[in-house]
Amino acid sequence: MAVECAEIRRHHRVGTKNVAGICLPTNVKFQSPACSSVDTEETVEPYTTEKMSRVPGGYLALTECFEIMRVDFNNLQELKSLATKKPGKIGIPVIKEGILDAVVVWFVLQLDDEHSLSTSPNEETCWEQAVYPAHDLADYRIKRGDHVMMEVSCQDCYLRIQNISVFGPECELDTGKNFTKNKDLLTLGSEAELCSALANLQTSKPDSVEQTCVLESTEIALLNNSVYHEGFKMAMKKVLSSLTPEKLCQAMDTQCQNEMSCGSEESNSQEIVPEPFYVLDVSEGFSILPIIAGTLGQVKPYSSVEKDQHRITLDLISEANHFPKETLEFWLRHVEDESSVLQRPKSDKLWSIIILDVIEPSGLIQQEIMEKAAISRCLLQSGGKIFPQYVLMFGLLVESQTLVEENAVQGTERTLGLNIAPFINQFQVPIRVFLDLSSLPCIPLSKPVELLRLDLMTPYLNTSNREVKVHICKSGQVTAIPFWYHMYLDDEIRLDTSGEASHWKQAAVVLENPIQVEMGEELVLSVQHHKSSVSITVKQ
């Protein structure tokens, strides 16, 4: 079925043209790997997956459920023909007005004439659903009476849904208006092809060269996160403003020395050019923070992006925002290898700001982050800062049968009496990652409490080993301890990794044995941070 889903949209479509004052040019097209063409060199799954019943914010079905493909696995000839079969064309009427974000696919597995299994989002199932994001549409808003059109194929062992387009109600699948920007209309007759050509004439820009930039879904969500970018812009501006008087003093000292050596007349004729502020962004993946830094005065920003297409994209964004070509530089071109990325900008210079990735998108702390922070502190000029300056880890106690059942095999009832739990559960992980706490089925049994402090600027304030008392607000069984982070760029500017616009997910420690608690009691947690790993245990 075709769906509207804001969560899918923000992870697969850049929905803004301006990020913290930086204009994103129209000739740059961002897309997720799930939207990549079949012709790309890398073999990439043409879909992503979601547990649609638990997607944050929910979803709205815009069409009825429809059959995409029927396969008989006992028919060898039919299976062979799938590899050579041309893409089939499907049109489905729209039943609700909304924004077309994706086509969601699930399967009905017919075991025999009487028994079947469904992976539908309406079923209690262990399966996720396949999500094919819509892209390249000039207008994603659709209304009742429209038809959503798509091509379906299975030529390379992947089920592909491509060339999603929309027909208005006046078309009746014979003639119509195609809302795709770059793709030809599905072959539905000569009149439809004519309408497609006319529509594309109105929306295409023949003189522009389009740069496609493939980003991971978390990178697209980050690009859509205005709070993140505005927060960094404000924090960087405050640091650079605090350093400006120091630069002026240096410039004045230089001027005095020139006057003494060369005479005041000659010195006054020379224009004093102060040294720029050096800003290094070593956060992983695609980041426009160096470009944002470049708007804050006399700044020399360095980006650590690795992929050529990302560098080309950043150059195009810089050009569109009228940056001089030499403003933005790519740091990895100046170092021998990635392991030596943290070093001085020049032999006699230091950094004003170093931006580190502290939290992984999965919800865990980055490996070796405290070691990187220690090196970074040695590379900062007086008054320079690491971003974030410190991180507070928060957590709460919950009762979640969902986490219990997804983390370990429970008993023998669901395995038809076979006692496989002792063997399978040897391989369970102590921490579940990539969780959406906002949609996780659970009952909070306490309020959030601070579990840990990681201070990148002032290491003696770190709390790598502590005990935390948690007050029980509701009786129940504690089965898990979800946790997240508040990243402080300074004492006033904070980023919440559990926020609605966050590109980060949350993680949770799942207890091996649930603990019964009563309202008013206190539970003591032992929290340890060692070599980038966090452990949380309950003291009995």
User: Average pLDDT of the chain?
Assistant: 86
CB 478 within 8 A of CB 383: no
Q: Rounded to an integer, what distance in angstroms lies between the CA atom of residue 178 and that of residue 186?
A: 9
The three-point CA angle 85-86-88 to 5° equals: 110
CB 31 within 8 A of CB 214: yes
DSSP conformation class of 285: S
Name which of 537, 508, 503 is nearest 440 in CA terms: 508
- Find all residues with CB under 8 Å of 195, minimum gap 6, and list them: 171, 175, 176, 177, 178, 185
Average pLDDT over residues 27-48: 79
For residue 94, pLDDT over 70 is answered with yes
pTM above 0.95, yes or no: no
Instruction: Please give the pLDDT value at position 254.
Output: 41
pLDDT digits (tens, 9 = 90+) for 111-160: 998 999 999 999 988 899 999 999 989 899 999 999 999 999 887 778 99
- Find all residues with CB under 8 Å of 46, minimum gap 6, and list them: 34, 36, 38, 132, 158, 159, 160, 161, 162
Q: Rounded to an integer, what distance in angstroms lies between the CA atom of residue 324 and that of residue 309?
A: 20
Q: Give CA separation, 272 vs 263, 279, 509, in Å.
A: 15, 22, 58
Predicted confidence band at 525 (pLDDT cuts at 50, 70, 90)?
very high
Q: Rounded to an integer, what distance in angstroms lies between the CA atom of residue 404 and that of residue 374?
A: 38
Instruction: Please give the pLDDT value at position 460.
Output: 85
* Other beta carbons less than 10 A from residue 129's beta carbon: 23
Q: Give the pairing type, strands 329-330 and 390-395.
A: unpaired
DSSP conformation class of 239: H
Name which of 300, 276, 208, 525 is nearest 397 in CA terms: 525
- Find all residues with CB under 8 Å of 422, minimum gap 6, and list them: none
Q: Rounded to an integer, what distance in angstroms lies between the CA atom of residue 229 and that of residue 223?
A: 8
Predicted confidence band at 209 (pLDDT cuts at 50, 70, 90)?
low
Q: Rounded to an integer, what distance in angstroms lies between the CA atom of residue 446 and that of residue 412?
A: 32
CB 472 within 8 A of CB 446: yes
Residue with tokens 């301006």: 18
Lowest pLDDT segment from 262-271, 278-287, 293-302, 380-389: 262-271
Name which of 293, 299, 294 is nearest 234 in CA terms: 293
Instruction: Please give the pLDDT value at position 39.
Output: 57
pLDDT digits (tens, 9 = 90+) for 448-493: 999 999 999 998 888 778 999 999 999 999 999 999 999 999 999 9
Q: Rounded to an integer, what distance in angstroms lies between the CA atom of residue 353 and that of residue 236?
A: 8
Instruction: Please give the pLDDT value at position 185.
Output: 36
Exposure class string for 42-64: b at 16+ Cβ within 10 A, else e: eebebbbebebbbbeeebebbbe
Q: Give CA separation, 169 vs 91, 102, 141, 181, in Å.
A: 12, 20, 14, 19
